Amino acid sequence: MRNKTKGKLTIVGAGPGDPELITLKAVNALKNAEVILYDALVNPILLEHNKTAEHYFVGKRKGAHSFKQSEINTMLVSFVNEGKKVVRLKGGDVSVFARAAEEISYAERFGITAHLIPGISSFSGIAANNRIPLTRRCQYESIWVTTGYTCDGKPSPDIIHAAQSTATVVILMGMTHLPEIVSLFNIHKPNNYPIAVVQNGTLPNEKSVVGTLETIVQQVKEGEIQNPAAIFVGPAVNDPTTLWAKQQEVNFA
């Protein structure tokens, strides 16, 4: 029998991976939760903030989806209607490629208001962790963040527009299409244009390679860089403040 008093749905950003890069508000939401549905990019250490809640892994990986989005939506509404405090825990920030809008819209169809708690986005967290200045006064004056592929599985058409800009371009979920992405940039940028790929950003097992449009595909292969990874393109990658600047052997001049 369902509880006549509805529970609460809170959609929480867990940050880029390092378990300390989560907000106090997010931790408090976890501590008060009765049910936690968490994604693949969420550091499982965060679940230790509440060991008594029901934990459900609903993460998605390419070729190995554990739950469809429609199933996750149904679970959220079902638990809330049972009168439970539900936390939907997502990697990064809830507003950046997190499908939060889909879950909010579905919940609202059942009269449920979702509460959102922001998190540090993966693109900004990984950049800061590696001292990549996504913006620098009078030099890099804008940021373009795009997904690597669209719902039809093809490279995002926004990438070709981003490649024509002077912005620091960040591409998430783009590793599968890296050669195609490089080709799109090569239409408008020279072979020596800077690019970096960072895997497992902010975590102890973080790996990165830094190169140019001409070299990066081979570097990724040799470095065995895999998903999850973020791609950074633009002069900011070769800024002297970055962690790898002194070790960088490629001449971007």
Q: What is the pLDDT of residues 148-204, one digit of tens each?
A: 988 888 888 999 999 999 999 999 999 999 999 999 999 999 999 999 999 999 999
How far from 206 is each of 40, 70, 83, CA to CA, in Å?
16, 32, 40
Nearest Cα residue to 114 out of 6, 252, 249, 229: 6
Name which residue leads in pLDDT, 84 or 253.
84
Whether the per-residue pLDDT at 64 is higher than 80: the answer is: no
Going across the sheet that includes 54-57, the strands are 54-57, 35-38, 85-90, 8-13, 114-117
pLDDT in tens, 194-221: 999 999 999 999 999 999 999 999 999 9
Domain boundaries, the chain: 8-117, 122-247
* DSSP 8-state code for residue 124: H
The percent of residues in the chain predicted with pLDDT above 70, rounded, is 93
CATH class of the domain whose range is 8-117: alpha beta
pTM for the complete prediction? 0.92
Same CATH topology for 8-117 and 122-247: the answer is no
Say if CB 77 and CB 108 are below 8 A apart: no
Q: Over 50: is that where the pLDDT of 250 sits?
A: no
Count H helices, E strands: the chain? 7, 10
Between CA 173 and CA 158 the distance in angstroms is 14
Distance CA 114, CA 105 (A): 9
Active site positions, annotated: 39, 60, 173
CATH H-level superfamily of 122-247: Tetrapyrrole methylase, C-terminal domain (3.30.950.10)
